[in-house]
A and B are shown apart, each in its own frame.
Chain A
Amino acid sequence: MSTSREFHYRLPRRSGGWRPGSHPGSSLGAGQEFVSHVSLYDRPDPRRLDLRASLREVRGDWLVRVNRQRVSVPVHVIADVSTSMSFGLPKSKLHIVADFVTALGHSAFRVGDALGMFAFDAHERPDLFVPALLSRGVGDVMASMLTNCTGAAGSGEGLEEAVLHLAGRPGLIFIASDFHWPLDRLDGVLDLLTHAYVVPLVIWDPAEMQPPKRDGLMPLRDLESGRRSTVWLRPGMRARWHEAVQRRRAELSAIFSARGIRPFYISGEFDNEALSHYFFEVTA
């Protein structure tokens, strides 16, 4: 079952790094991607001698083909474990993150990427830290850590603290959160991650995006602050609910698209096919 949840991902741009992998890299080495011909004296690798090119060479040098090596990149998940992430029926948002992490563990191992994790709620959660490991089971370990944790209220400061560890490092970073905290710090967080390829996973439960079908009174309690508020659901309120969801979506996409980032929305169930498509579209 877990193998079927794998998804395909490639980075759309070259990354540095020497470890062979499957993402386009900037280092030279054993790869399919031809870069140039170099004199045999400069690069004494007679296995890659190109006889046709050497014959055409005016100066009569022996030319060696130089290829670009595909590299592996460290993949990190920054998971929001705030209380609001425990909301969701039949599957809580945190379980959806765990599903994603499991799939990512298999996918990353398959392509030879190291996978690590940071978690945050109001602050960084060092107990949920997993260093980048090249291990088959690391995804499952991380998933079980996520499903068994309890969080506090989420905040942009927590994300910032977690992100500081990755600042300026290349790689692939997934930020899995519902973004139910003030977005004013998000801009600064993304500034820290300019060297990495960031994929925000916006996880919203259908129950918070769609008002209930029946009209009536909803005595609501905020999971994070415990604040109470009663909402009388009626057609006008329904429209304003949809508007609020649209507005939040617009706010998020405004912040991300300013950096050429496209957020990936998850609602109800993690769809590995959709995430594969996301990467196909990005790399195409």
Chain B
Amino acid sequence: MSSSIAFEHPWALALLPLALLPLLRRRRDTLAFPSLAWLPPDRVGQIIGWLWPVFAVLALASSILALAQPGRPQTQVQRTGKGAEILVLLDRSRSMDDRMLPANWREIDPANLLYHLAKGPQKAQVARELLSQFVSRRPDDRFSLMYFSNRPLGVVPFTQHDAVMQAGIAAGAIGRGLADTEVGRGLIAAIAQFDQRAYSGSRIMLLVSDGGAHLDAETMQRIRFGLARNRIALYWIYLRSYNSAKLDSTEPRWENAPEMALHRFFRTLQTPYRVYQAEDPGELSRAVADVERQQNLPLDFLEQIPRQDYSRVFLAVAAFSCAMLLLYRSMLLRSLP
């Protein structure tokens, strides 16, 4: 990091000797008096008489320097940061209103499972709670929130204000779930959020959904290129329903499940992809904590510090000096009697 000062218009510095003009003392500026020894000495007046050429020189010199536009040139600074840009893409479909399995569902008699299932917390609610904790724990990050169902619903654009984000998450509780799960359109809209944004840190898209979708080739292409272009890492928190596919299963009956199809597609991405399969609230919170840990990695990046212009300072000095000179002039007596 250099602190050197460079001038935008160095030729203006050639005018700098003009600033010495006020030091040329002219008889015109003064009133002739027969004998100064006659007058009582005036300390204050002498200081003022000494100050005004200083102000005059200062006014000229700083105006010329302001013309030359001094400034610190544009530099690049190596910075290490922790912040990331996180876009939360939350499923708002009807199925998210379903309840989650209790943590000990494996020990429960399958005959009673449906009963316990009805008593569990809603998936969307658990997801919202965890997300709001996640957001409040990461004040350095910039968040964006987007719901999707049969169409994407942008809620909060990228912001660093957590309160807005929390309000957006809380707004997800209003009403009931919507009809469909159009993951493809949601992803494309979410990717579009990153367009036109300067790349300032790692970018994460956090897809929270309980189902997948079959994507057509064109949508897949767009998602693939979009993620690559904006360098977005995709984290999928898959809230598995009681009767839906496990992503790691190789059973042929799940071969055509939309979740599996989506997972298969995501695995072909060039960009980083990670999936968390959460079946109960504990697992969901583990998944969120994992994401949190993942993205706490320090991030080295070059920050461009734009050119800093100091001419305002010089203009301020010049204006102040001119004001002082005007004050001096207004106090000046033009003639003796």
Residues of A within 8 A of B (CB): 83-85, 87, 89, 93, 178, 180, 205-208, 210, 212, 214, 216-225, 227-233, 237, 240-241, 243-245, 248
Asked whether B289 is an interface residue with its Cβ less than 8 Å from the other chain, the reply is no
- Assess A232 versus B34: contact at CB under 8 Å? Given A216-B332, A216-B333: no
Main secondary structure of the interface of B (DSSP, over half): mixed
Q: How far is the CA of A23 from the CA of B34 in the complex (A)?
A: 37
Question: Nearest chain A CB to B334's CB is how many angstroms away?
Answer: 9
**11 residue pairs from A and B, CB less than 8 Å apart:** A206-B337, A207-B336, A218-B336, A220-B33, A221-B32, A221-B33, A223-B32, A229-B36, A230-B49, A232-B44, A244-B39
- Give the residues in chain B near A222, CB-CB below 8 Å: 33-37
- Which one, B27, B31, B36, B42, contacts A232 given CB within 8 A? B42
B328 to chain A: which residues have CB within 8 Å? 217
Instruction: Tell me which of A89, A223, A244 contacts B33 (CB under 8 A).
Output: A223
Separation of A248 and B39 alpha carbons in the complex (Å): 10
Residues A224 and B49 in contact, CB atoms below 8 Å apart: no
Q: Which of B175-225 contact A (CB under 8 A)?
A: none
In the complex, what residues of A have CB within 8 A of residue B42's CB?
229-232, 237
Task: Summarize A's interface: helix, strand, loop or mixed.
Answer: mixed
Where the two chains meet, the residues of B that have a C-beta atom closer than 8 Å to any C-beta of A are 25, 27, 29-42, 44-46, 48-50, 328, 331-333, 335-337
Complex alpha-carbon distance, A223 and B38, angstroms: 12
Name the B residues within 8 Å of A93 (CB-CB).
34
Closest 7 CB pairs of A and B: A230-B49, A84-B34, A180-B35, A221-B30, A232-B45, A240-B40, A87-B34
Q: Chain A residues near B335 (CB, 8 Å)? A: 212
Return the chain B residue nearest A228 by Cβ. Answer: B30
If A230-B42, A232-B48 touch, does A87 touch B337 (CB 8 Å cutoff)? no
A89, B40: Cα distance in complex, Å: 22
Known A216-B333, A240-B40; contact A224-B35, beta-carbon cutoff 8 A: yes
Q: Which residue of B lies closest to A221 (CB)?
A: B30
Q: Which residue of A lies closest to B49 (CB)?
A: A230
- A230 x B333 contact (CB < 8 A): no
Q: A207-B336, A229-B46, A229-B49 are in contact. Are A218 and B31 (CB under 8 A)?
A: yes
CB < 8 Å neighbour of A244 from B40, B44, B48, B337: B40
Contact flag A219-B34 (CB < 8 Å), given A244-B39, A244-B40: no
Contact A219 B32 (CB under 8 A): no
* Residues of A contacting B44 in the complex (Cβ-Cβ under 8 angstroms): 232
**Which residues from chain B contact A241 at a C-beta distance below 8 Å?**
39-40
A227 and B38 CA atoms in complex are apart in Å by 13
Q: Once the chains bind, are B40 and A227 in contact (CB under 8 Å)? A: no
A212 touches B337 (CB 8 A): yes
> In the complex, given contacts A89-B336, A221-B33, A229-B36, what are 16 additional A-B residue pairs having Cβ atoms less than 8 angstroms apart?
A83-B34, A87-B34, A89-B337, A180-B35, A207-B336, A212-B337, A216-B331, A217-B328, A217-B332, A219-B29, A221-B27, A221-B32, A222-B35, A223-B34, A229-B42, A229-B49
Q: Are B34 and A233 touching (Cβ within 8 A)?
A: no
Residue with the highest number of chain A CB atoms closer than 10 Å, among B25, B332, B336, B337 = B336
A217-B25 Cα distance, complex, nearest whole Å: 17
Q: CB-CB < 8 A to B33: which residues of A?
A: 87, 208, 220-223
Contact present for B48 and A180 (CB under 8 Å) = no
Residues of A within 8 A of B38 (CB): 180, 208, 244-245, 248
| Chain B residues, CB < 8 A from A218 | 31, 45, 332-333, 336
Kindly identify which residue among A206, A219, A243 contacts B30, using a CB–CB cutoff of 8 Å: A219
Cβ-defined contact, B25 with A228, below 8 A:
yes
Contact A212–B36 (Cβ < 8 Å): no
- The interface residues of chain B lying within 8 Å CB-to-CB of A243 are 40
A207 pairs with B337, CB closer than 8 A: yes
CA distance A83 to B37 in the complex (A): 15
A229: B residues at CB distance < 8 A: 36, 39, 41-42, 45-46, 49
Output the least CB separation between B19 and chain A (Å). 20
A158 to chain B, nearest CB (A): 15
Bound: A205/B46 CA distance, A: 24
Q: Are B49 and A180 in contact (CB under 8 A)?
A: no
Contact A231 B30 (CB under 8 A): no
Knowing A218-B336, A244-B38, the reply to whether A230 touches B46 (Cβ < 8 A) is yes
Give min CB distance, A75 to chain B, whole Å: 27
Q: Which residues of A contact B337 (CB under 8 A)?
A: 89, 206-207, 210, 212
Closest chain-B Cβ to A83's Cβ sits at a distance in Å of 8
Shortest distance between the CB of A4 and any CB in chain B (Å): 27
A230–B40 CB distance below 8 A: no
- The 8 Å CB contact of A217, one of B35, B40, B41, B45, is B45
Q: Which residues of A contact B35 (CB under 8 A)?
A: 84, 178, 180, 208, 222-224
Whether A178 pairs with B46 at a CB distance below 8 angstroms is: no
Contacts of A178 in B (CB 8 A): 34-35
Given A218-B336, A232-B45, are A224 and B331 also a contact pair (CB < 8 Å)? no
| Contacting pair A217 B36 (CB below 8 A) | no
Across the interface, B36 reaches (CB within 8 A) one of A83, A216, A227, namely A227
Most chain B C-beta atoms within 10 Å of own C-beta, residue among A224, A228, A231: A231
Q: How far is the CA of A220 from the CA of B36 in the complex (A)?
A: 8
Which residues of chain A are near B27, meaning CB under 8 Å? 221
Measured between alpha carbons, how far is A214 from B332 in the docked complex, in Å?
Answer: 10
CB distance from B215 to the nearest CB of A (A): 84
Task: State A243–B41 Cα separation when bound (angstroms).
Answer: 12
